[in-house]
Amino acid sequence: MRGFTLTELAVVLVIIGILMASGVYTMSAQVESRYRADTQRRLDEAKDLLVGFALVHGRLPCPGIASGDEAGGGAAACASPYGGFLPARAIGFQPTDAAGFALDAWGNRIRYAVSATAWGTAPARFTRQHAAAAPWSITQTPGDLVVCSASPAVASALACDAGTSLTNQNTVVAVVFSTGKNGAAAPGGANEARNLDANALFVSRTPDPPSAAGGEFDDLVSWIPVGLLYGRMIAAGALP
């Protein structure tokens, strides 16, 4: 019985290499899919906890800045309503890092923005407790946060370009998002950059590769509509 020739051995090794590479790619894709699903679950939990906070305290919390605690809130305005992190300690979210910041499945800190819209003479706002001095009313709507499917052509714009609006400025009271696997240190493109520029406009879209027109995008973005918040508060007796 003759042995394998060098050519035959080389062919076998190439086939084995292809199969191993395919297996590694498949496993990596499965892990990435699991991380995204786990992160989405954490964002959904964060939204539930934010609404629960509002039911107990009659207001939404402010984002955290230096830690997982609120920066502002109550009678005070938020220190950074659009550029902070989920206040994990205030709402009881887990898991967190040593500083108390909420973490996504990749170990990156979960971000959070809340409407800064004010009304009345107090003034009342969504982060100020509903009371006689600063009453909430279901006729009051947010007027700042907006979610688009792509970054506006004008980098400083605070409104979506035509055909890219996922919400309008009277819909969203809070945005919760993960910066995805690539994290927040170096935004992958114009679309991701809009989620980290500390203003009221955010982008949500399906993942894009680095070669896409708007650059890489792997953020996961979710939001709380004002109607949902009011509905839960009324049902719980936190609003008349």
pLDDT, tens digit, 9 for 90 and up, residues 130-153: 877 788 889 999 999 999 999 999
Nearest to 61 by CA among 209, 236, 229, 237: 229
- Does 16 score more than 90 pLDDT? no
Nearest to 43 by CA among 238, 172, 177, 202: 177
Mean pLDDT of 213-230: 94
What pLDDT does residue 141 have?
95
Mean pLDDT of 104-123: 94
Least confident of 14-18, 22-26, 157-161, 189-193: 22-26
Least confident of 32-36, 112-116, 128-132, 210-214: 128-132
| Look-up of token digits 């906070």 | 53
pLDDT classification of 24: cutoffs 50, 70, 90: low
- Does 219 score more than 80 pLDDT? yes
Whole-angstrom distance, CA of residue 147 vs CA of residue 45: 20
- Does 117 score more than 60 pLDDT? yes
What pLDDT does residue 30 have?
77
What pLDDT does residue 36 have?
95
Q: Where are the beta strands (DSSP E) in 13-130?
A: 84-85, 111-114, 118-119, 124-125
What pLDDT does residue 4 have?
60
What pLDDT does residue 114 have?
98
Mean pLDDT of 141-167: 94
Residues in the chain: 240
- Does 75 score more than 60 pLDDT? yes
What pLDDT does residue 65 have?
95
Tokens in use for 32? 């990435």
What pLDDT does residue 184 have?
63
Mean pLDDT of 77-94: 95
pLDDT classification of 167: cutoffs 50, 70, 90: very high
What pLDDT does residue 5 have?
75
Tokens in use for 90? 């205030």
Helices 226-235 and 6-57 sit at what angle, rounded to 10 degrees? 50
What pLDDT does residue 17 have?
67
Mean of the per-residue pLDDT values for the chain?
Answer: 89
Nearest to 180 by CA among 207, 155, 198, 147: 207
pLDDT classification of 225: cutoffs 50, 70, 90: very high
What pLDDT does residue 70 have?
94
Mean pLDDT of 100-123: 94
